[in-house]
Amino acid sequence: MAVAIGKFIWDITYACPLRCVHCYTESGRRPARTLDRDAAMRVIDRIIAAQAKKVSISGGEPLSVRWALEAMRRLHDAGIAVTVFTSGWSMPERTAGALAESVASVAVSVDGADPAIHDTVRGRPGAFERGLRALDTLHRVKLERQASGQGCYTFGIDYTLTRSGAREADLERFVAMAVERFPGLDFIRFGAVIPSGLAAEKDFEDSELLSIDELVGMIAVGQRLAAQAGCEVDISVTDVRYFLPQPGISAVDLDIAHIEPDGALRAFPIYEAKVGNILDESLESLWPKVRAWRSDPFVVGLMESVKTMADWAHTARSLDMRYGSADDQARILQRRAPMRLSA
Ligand code: SF4
């Protein structure tokens, strides 16, 4: 019987012009592993056959992939709600126009209130200005299409909360700037950086991970920001407890499949464990392996022990080293300690 999976996350490349200290995929510092077009279209066939409702296209920088727009258009035309996550490093007008025909939503990642914070977190000077210029272009294209009666994406800002970027006064001035510069913005979403990839490293944990209590407190901050902004933009803070890796209460049990750039299927979105490759094996065969991994006593025991963000980072490091491929393990061991950002 065909397996049905509601949501896919597909990192379509590990190529990226940025070098974010918290990157979940260590993109830009490892082989891109991008599929060729034909193989990518076969992945899409699998996703459509699984009756997906939502697909998040991420990376790496997904818009650096030549077949990305075609891929998103195919998913979109199949009735799937596609969201693309981009740094906004490059957003020509023609790309924004094509996205209007290819996706339901565009999220531009901005992780600091100004260039000093954002560019340090993102590891490349100019990243903040380029992200805002991308939002300018997305905004302009959306207004033009609306004026001519055409449909368009929703677009907004995906803001990852590190300790460096989470001061309330900074967030206030960022929201004020964003709603003034982009009055047609649909959303600003603040979400905790979670311990995955480089963000699971010990130095990052010590310097940049917020505690669960701090993150829960950010929900009230988000409500204050929304009240102060007093506009149509949907301003929200994701409740991190939803993502805590405890079976029975979190996304652990949801039907979310995470595909790596070469087609490898992860057992769980934020960990390096793989159960096979979607190009070599059917989802009917792979999905029970995902379920089995998630209920493995070692995995469950580690996840159930998580009470703090530090516990979670420890769990992520343990799972990555136990279940990652030999390449993953070698790469993890070679990681340099991420830079310390906080004063
Ligand atoms: S822009 Fe995204 S994919 Fe690229 S390095 Fe930063 S977090 Fe990683």
pLDDT single digits (tens) 299-326 = 988 888 898 999 999 999 999 999 999 9
Residue located nearest, by CA, to atom 7 of ligand 1: 23
CA 112 from chain center: how many Å?
A: 16
pLDDT value of position 119: 96
CA nearest 63: which of 101, 97, 25, 89? 89
The pLDDT, as a whole number, for residue 248 is: 55
Mean pLDDT of 91-111: 98
pLDDT in tens, 56-67: 999 999 999 999
Predicted pLDDT of residue 1:
63
Q: Whose C-alpha lies nearest to ligand 1, atom 8?
A: 23
Output the pLDDT for position 140: 98
CA of 265 to the centre of ligand 1 (A): 20
Q: What pLDDT was estimated at residue 340?
A: 46
The domain limits of the chain are 7-334
Q: Locate 315 and state its tokens.
A: 């769990």
Per-residue pLDDT at 342 exceeds 50: no
From residue 302, alpha-carbon distances to 12, 307, 315 in Å are 29, 11, 6
Check pLDDT > 60 for residue 338: no
pTM of the model: 0.94
Q: Which of 21, 74, 66, 86 is nearest to 46 (CA)?
A: 74
Please give the DSSP secondary-structure letter assigned to residue 244. S
Residue nearest to atom 2 of ligand 1 (CA): 60
Average pLDDT, the chain: 93
For 214-267, how does the pLDDT look when each residue is reduced to its tens digit (9 = 90+)? 998 999 999 999 999 887 899 999 877 777 776 555 555 578 999 999 999 999
Least confident piece of the model among 13-27, 129-143, 229-243: 229-243
Q: Best mutation site among 11, 13, 21, 23 for ligand 1, i.e. most ligand atoms within 8 A of its Cβ?
A: 23
The residue nearest atom 6 of ligand 1, judged by CA position, is 20
Give the per-residue pLDDT at 243: 73
- At residue 339 the predicted structure's pLDDT band, cuts being 50, 70 and 90, is very low
Question: What is the predicted pLDDT for the residue at 253?
Answer: 58
Ligand 1 contacts CB of residue 20 (under 6 A): yes
Mean local confidence (pLDDT), 264-293:
95
CATH of 7-334 among 3.90.740.10, 3.20.20.100, 3.20.20.70, 1.10.357.10: 3.20.20.70
Please tell me the predicted confidence (pLDDT) of residue 247. Answer: 57
Length of the chain: 343
Residue 165 has pLDDT above 50, yes or no: yes
Cα separation, 23 vs 195, in Å, equals 10
- Please state the atom number of ligand 1 nearest to the C-alpha of residue 19: 5
Distance CA 309, CA 209 (A): 7
DSSP state of 92: -
What residues contact residue 195 under an 8 Å CB cut-off, 6+ apart?
A: 204, 205, 209, 270, 309, 312, 313, 315, 316
Cβ 105 under 6 angstroms from ligand 1: no
Structure tokens at 113: 């209130």
- Ligand 1 atom closest to the Cα of residue 22 is 7
Q: Which of 86, 87, 119, 120 to mutate to test the pocket of ligand 1 (most atoms within 8 A of CB)?
A: 87
Contact 118, 158 (CB under 8 A): no
How much is the average pLDDT of 183-197? 94
How many angstroms separate the alpha carbon of residue 109 from the centre of ligand 1? 9
Whether 23 is in the pocket of ligand 1, judged by its Cβ within 6 Å, is yes
Q: Cα-Cα-Cα-Cα dihedral of 313, 316, 320, 322, to 10°? A: 110
Mean pLDDT of 172-200: 95
User: Which residue's CA is the nearest one to ligand 1's atom 3?
Assistant: 60
**Largest Cα span, the chain:** 57
Lowest mean pLDDT among 22-26, 130-134, 214-218: 214-218
Measured from the CB, is residue 119 less than 6 Å from ligand 1?
Answer: no
